Structure 1
Amino acid sequence: MTIKNAFYAQSGGVTAVINATACGVIQAARQHPNKIGTVYAGRNGILGALREELIDTNQYSDEDIAALRHTPAGAFGSCRFKLRSIEESRAEYERLIEVFKAHDIGYFFYNGGNDSQDTAHKVSQISETMGYPIQCIGIPKTVDNDLPITDFCPGFGSVAKYVAVSIKEASLDIASMCESSTKVFIMEVMGRHAGWIAAAGALAQQEEGDAPHIILFPEVAFDKEKFLSKVKHCVETYGYCSIVASEGTHTGDGSFLAASEASVDAFGHAQLGGVAPVLANLIKGELGYKYHWALADYLQRSARHIASKTDVDLAYQAGEKAIEYALEGLNSVMPAIQRLDNGEWGFIPAPLKDIANVERFMPKSFISEDGFGITQAGRDYLLPLIQGEDYPPYVNGQPVYVKLAHNLTPKKLANFDI
């Protein structure tokens, strides 16, 4: 078997466990020096390949790589950069192949969500037509948990744990003050089109009346009167109302409650964030209740200190499995997590063509009849994903995370304008 080098890159919004996947990829590759040569990491995702900014991971000690397992964010840098279709931007794809050829790269591992799996699929296609075959393995990662086929996406379990714990603790705070102070608390969480993260807030509930009392999903159109009636009922019944709202909460015509038309991300999506104050002002104006709100934002996806052990373990295993698939000669696949009947987890190679640009939404069977909570089926799905603790090491009261220097490999090609 010819020894080929590998290229690994992180894409999109980072998570508390994406570095655990990087750790799995690099450690597994180091176990096969006669099959995989140098593992290069792309500096800032796919941009690192286009700009020929490659990081030779051999410069890092085994201890540094092992520390990635408990370090949040993207150790090599990530990006929001969507490659257009091959017809629209053939030059970019040709540039990728040129860089891979120049550095003798035969394996491409792209760690990301829907758009990233699409990129890996397209690279596998054009590499064949250009006569320089690349084995492309997508590796799942997204806190939104919206990739098809895989049972869940690495990154989601830890966010789910953070959201459930945070709303539980904040609601205890509100409950203790509601007699003479705040009546309503709103926590806004990520989730543009899929309400998986918001749904996780329901795991804080242990018995009837426990917070959160209302969950707003993108899958359920927002009904102003129904919402205000529910808020009023909760305050009158429990003394307060605790709410988890997805950033993608929208009205019946599809309009987001909070979206800046002037601000879009690299993928052309409206920049969301701000549904919590919209709801808070609505409640204040219509019901007169004092409120507080919080935007979980980056805190929810970077909270490695409270990560789910299930999430960490399977993120790492996804990296290992990607190497295994590559060595087996598989191409244009993604290691998809499978929930087994015995409570264990496994993987299957899922075709990238069936994953690219496909979003998985919360099934109706997981959402309660009134649209403000989850069913037992939803709870049964979510609960295993937040199990176990996997604390990072601490020194002087602070977690210890590794920070890798980005010393770049010398370039062999001319610069490329993106």
Structure 2
Amino acid sequence: MINYDEGDKMSQTNAFYAQSGGVTAVINASACGVIETARRYPAEIGTVYAGRNGILGALHEDLIDTGEETAEAIRALRHTPAGAFGSARYKLKGLEENRAEYQRLIEVFRAHQIGYFFYNGGGDSQDTAHKVSQMGAAMDYPLICIGIPKTVDNDLPLTDCCPGFGSAAKYLATSLREAALDVASMAKTSTKVFIMEVMGRHAGWLTAACGLAGDGPGEAPHLLLFPELPFVAEDFLKRVQETVETRGYCVIAVSEGIKTPDGKFLAESGLRDAFGHAQLGGVAPHLAQLVRDRLGYKYHWAVADYLQRAARHLASRTDVRQAYAVGQAAVKLALRGRNAVMPTIQRLSDEPYRWRVSSVSLAAVANQERALPRHFITADGYGITAEARRYLEPLIAGEDYPPYHKGVPAYVRLQLISVARKLPAFTG
């Protein structure tokens, strides 16, 4: 067991950092913020270990020694997409029903003198970090747990925005603007309807961001379909037909999670993912076929899928800075003894855009989802309001290009050197 003096509980101890869930273009910027900041406090933090494949790295004692990485390599994380240490969709169950996994985490932390736990993820991850803090207390183990926000869905509560969202939003708005120009140029004799499917199971933030592709009356996208509002096929088809007849073509952005009026996902496949969420089967081709069958228009559809969350070449400068800042803030909060909290982005003004980092308790954000507010959606349900634009535009502002080599981005690959195991294999 690690022994700490009463007045110096967290001195000379190690830290553990893990990435969780779907990765983003800037989650490594948060990792960079954590590791670089920790290295500036060698008297308080010894080694920063990272979990190989997220929380699974802790459960299976598969730890990576980030101290073996050069300062240059860690710095390059800031412009490298995806999860440099590996991520996983793995949800720990409740403390009472699955106590063994939480006990295992504490045992691994104890074996490697880990006193700080930084968990970089969305709502489920914040819940895990909160439960681990509770288990640490229950086992009388001195542990500071900090959640670090990350999600392209932008659906964590009590933070103005989530790192990862701004860059995905910028990519989608840019891609849809470019695709719309393509469709418009060919609409006379070819494609009349283009549909782009974006992420967003319950929250339509990315769909709303697609609205930034056009900035004038009648500009594409012409229709946005949000998961917050029921999808009514007849009304949708009527709007598509009216748009084609008026504009010559119709460009649509749709959330993967739109539902019928009875609450069923339009494209639910019947499968479940690792978190127990319904696996969605592709709403864009479903809508495209509906348009073809009912209206007879030639169509094209696209699913942005991983592209929207991996596009570091087109990252938002605001997003990169905020991702780094919450990683940096996580370490500083931990060093101040702030347990079971998550750094947040607090907006101070829209014009000029100003923000700062604050914090909230993990209990307040765990397993919570923030939907797109109704006042961000136009009265007809198919567009975004001026208020939504004021909120969204600063988040996609600025460019932060990675270095290029031979015409493509130069991204870092870490050494990922493992730490020797000290415990028996986990069989729970």
Structure 2 residue 238 is matched with structure 1 residue 256: no
Which residue does the alignment assign to 1:371? 381
Which residue does the alignment assign to 1:214? 223
Structure 2 residue 113 is matched with structure 1 residue 104: yes
Which residue does the alignment assign to 2:44? 35
Corresponding residue to 1:304 among 312, 330, 333: 312
Q: Is the 8 A contact 1:10 1:112 kept in 2?
A: yes
Structure 2 residue 246 is matched with structure 1 residue 226: no
Distance in 2 between the 1:222 and 1:44 partners?
Answer: 37
Q: Which runs of 4+ in 1 moved over 6 A?
A: none
Corresponding residue to 1:276 among 284, 309, 321: 284
Instruction: Count how many residue pairs are aligned between Structure 1 and Structure 2.
Output: 417
Find the residue that maps to 1:194 and give its secondary structure. Answer: coil
Q: Residue deviations 1:218-253, cap 9 Å, x none? A: 001001111001100110111000000100011111
Structure 2 residue 197 is matched with structure 1 residue 173: no
Distance apart, 1:110 and its partner CA: 0.1
Which residue does the alignment assign to 1:241? 250
Distance in 2 between the 1:343 and 1:298 partners?
Answer: 29
- Residue type of the alignment partner of 2:174: V
Which residue does the alignment assign to 2:414? 404
**Correspondences of 1:166-205 after superposition (within 5 Å):** 166-205=175-214
Which residue does the alignment assign to 1:321? 329
Structure 2 residue 166 is matched with structure 1 residue 157: yes
Structure 2 residue 354 is matched with structure 1 residue 354: no
Distance in 2 between the 1:373 and 1:96 partners?
Answer: 46
Structure 2 residue 80 is matched with structure 1 residue 91: no
Distance apart, 1:270 and its partner CA: 1.3
Distance apart, 1:271 and its partner CA: 1.2
Distance apart, 1:108 and its partner CA: 0.2
Which residue does the alignment assign to 1:290? 298
Q: Tell me the TM-score normalised to structure 1 length.
A: 0.99
Q: Tell me the TM-score normalised to structure 2 length.
A: 0.97
Structure 2 residue 23 is matched with structure 1 residue 14: yes
Distance in 1 between the 2:342 and 2:28 partners?
Answer: 17
Q: Which runs of 5+ in 1 are unaligned?
A: none
Which residue does the alignment assign to 1:118? 127
Q: Is the 8 A contact 1:260 1:270 kept in 2?
A: yes
Distance in 2 between the 1:316 and 1:375 partners?
Answer: 30
Q: Residue deviations 1:278-299, cap 9 Å, x none? A: 0000000110000000000000
Find the residue that maps to 2:48 and give its secondary structure. Answer: strand
Distance in 2 between the 1:164 and 1:324 partners?
Answer: 35
Q: Residue deviations 1:263-311, cap 9 Å, x none? A: 2110111111410000000000110000000000000000000000000
Identical-pair percentage: 65
Distance in 1 between the 2:424 and 2:35 partners?
Answer: 28
Q: Is the 8 A contact 1:124 1:133 kept in 2?
A: no
Corresponding residue to 1:133 among 142, 147, 154: 142
- Residue type of the alignment partner of 2:318: T
